Chains A and B, each alone.
Chain A
Amino acid sequence: MIPGPVIPGPANPGPAARGLRLDDVSRDFAGVHAVAGVSMTLTGGEVLGVIGPNGSGKTTLVNLASGALAPSAGRVVVDGADLTGTCSSRLAAAGVVRSYQNLRLFEGLSVLDNVVVGAQRRVRPSLVGAWARSPGFRRRERRLREAAMDALDQLGMATFAGRAVGALSHGQRRRVELARVFAAEPAYLVLDEPGAGVDPDQLRGLADLITDRRDAGVGILVVEHDHGWVERVCDRVLGMADGSVVAEGSFASVAAHPALAPNLAVLPWC
């Protein structure tokens, strides 16, 4: 937690209202239903996995849950506050932070500053603060940097803090992105294929980091293709096909659904 001037979250809702909730959301692209009538609730302290074939609407679901896309129909509710159709910065202020499948780092910033931008999610930036540089301001800055260094350290990237992100390999960039979302200390964390381009050892380490967050009460929604990893990490799984949730429950029950079983016919070279 970063002390200091903070953006107030929604009024403390009752336990029943807590959670990142999608109510019957749909999203069309030029008449194509990318997501159709999906309802789900992500509560604090659980890891909810999303699996499904390419084009089944997983990334669109992530975009809807993080406010990057406004739904064509339905509602997005965070801890009882209806944030449907608002800017994703509002959802971030409400505690929903996401990562991107196709890495979106701030290319002009150092590795450390990329992560500090995550860490400063709760700080309300002010011009007067920047120019006055009061002792409190400097203390907050130091804590932001420490939080960012901690996150980098957890992902084994601390030694790269001063580098430009452009100089990193894909796997390293992925880890910087994960450090950025972890440093943001979200209430709800949405991860879009965090394992893409990461080697198996690091994928295991990532599983530990995610379960640590879960045990600290963070709700985590994760889209991932590696089914073994999903089985190990996720408490609950949604199976998606053609824009709808076709199965929900334990990994074993969802993976057995016919629409989600590996379809070898489409992979003739295997």
Chain B
Amino acid sequence: MSRVRRSSAAGLPVLAVLAVVPVWIGGRHGYGLGTTAVIAVITALGLQVVYGLSGQLSVAQAPLQGVGAYAVAQLMVAHGWSFWAALLPAVAVAALFGVVVGLPGLRVRGDVLALATLGAGEILQSLFLNTERFTGGYQGIAAVPGVSVFGHALDDRGLYAVALVVALVVLAAAVALKASPLGRACMALRDDEVAARSFGVHPGRLRLLAFAVGSGMAGAAGGLYAVQNGFVSSVSFGLSQTVVVILIVLIAGEARMGRTVVAAVAMTAVLDRLAAYGDVSEAVTGLVILLVAATRLGLGDAARARLRTTVRLPALRRPVPAGGVAGR
């Protein structure tokens, strides 16, 4: 009956399907691609907290994911920590960097903030390349060990299961946040700051908190990325990766957690297919971005409403009877 249960109920079947699809496709590639998709899900859910809930477009989500990846790799390779021990500190470090990236949000909004975070992301990229002691510089960090459970090294399938569990936790956290006073205050702030203030919402604290939570989620995704690939370098966390995450969120619609899962999986599958065509893939990716941006084609309400007028789609949500509770 609670809203949380209903909203996670929307995301859960999707995760269930996710759990089965790689088995269905089969082979190492299936699980590897599945893990990549789940990592994209986690990163995109993080951006949903920053952009979808609190209305701050962060163009530094991939570099923040990189912070988590470097932290896990460094702790595992140089200090011999296990993945499990390294994951939480990595999340914390990414959250901390996220707060720094989000500091301009105390002064500026909208497109100016997006530009500021873009700059912060570029600084992070530069840090990745120039703080060799922590990041290995241009060489990156190689030979990151895999994940093991009770001394047993996990194979691709095991890692996929681990990633799914992390994604489930992140999805639950995002959905619970959205359905809490904190989430409502964030969304109120996103929609009308003046009105939100006049109901006691204090903007600065909430804005930074959203950056911390969303970036921490990106950090978790980065940690998974490090153990999946066994290698971390700055090229994996550049602007083009950030753009893909933003695209996923735009397709899903603001603060739509369940749809973000669908959009992230679909996007990963499409990009995987395109990768086979080499250089053409980038052009096609660009074309996809152009189409989505120009038509607002996606899973968002505006797109659905437009489609419904022509195709007559059934409503995703039935009208809620009096006394009931509805999400957005």
Interface of A with B (CB < 8 Å)? 7, 66-68, 87-89, 91-93, 97-98, 100, 104-110, 112-113, 116-118, 120-123, 125-127, 129-131, 133, 137-138, 141, 144-145, 149, 158-159, 161-164, 180, 184
Contact B327 A133 (CB under 8 A): no
**Chain-A contact segment, one of B64-72, B188-196, B222-230:** B188-196
Q: A130-B181, A131-B176, A133-B176 are in contact. Are A109 and B200 (CB under 8 A)?
A: no
Contact A109 B182 (CB under 8 A): no
User: B127: CB under 8 A from chain A?
Assistant: no
Interface string of B285-314 (1 = CB under 8 A from A): 000000000000000010000000000000
Contact B2 A68 (CB under 8 A): no
State A125–B209 Cα separation when bound (angstroms): 11
Q: A89-B202, A97-B198 are in contact. Are A120 and B181 (CB under 8 A)?
A: yes
Interface of B with A (CB < 8 Å)? 2, 4, 173, 176-177, 179-185, 187-188, 190-192, 194-203, 206, 209, 213, 254-255, 301, 319-328
> What are 20 A-to-B residue pairs whose CB atoms are below 8 Å?
A88-B194, A92-B197, A92-B200, A93-B200, A105-B192, A106-B196, A108-B187, A112-B326, A113-B187, A120-B199, A122-B200, A125-B180, A125-B181, A130-B182, A130-B183, A133-B176, A141-B181, A161-B322, A162-B324, A163-B326
Query: With a CB–CB cut-off of 8 A, which chain A residues contact B319?
Result: 162-163
Residue picked from B184, B200, B209, most chain A C-beta under 10 Å: B200
Query: With a CB–CB cut-off of 8 A, which chain A residues contact B325?
Result: 112, 145, 161-162
Query: With a CB–CB cut-off of 8 A, which chain A residues contact B177?
Result: 127, 130-131
Query: With a CB–CB cut-off of 8 A, which chain B residues contact A92?
Result: 197-200
Contact A108 B191 (CB under 8 A): yes
Query: With a CB–CB cut-off of 8 A, which chain B residues contact A87?
Result: 197, 202
State A109–B199 Cα separation when bound (angstroms): 15
State A52–B326 Cα separation when bound (angstroms): 42
How far does the Cβ of B51 sit from chain A's closest Cβ, in whole Å?
12
How far does the Cβ of A264 sit from chain B's closest Cβ, in whole Å?
36
State A243–B181 Cα separation when bound (angstroms): 39
State A158–B182 Cα separation when bound (angstroms): 24
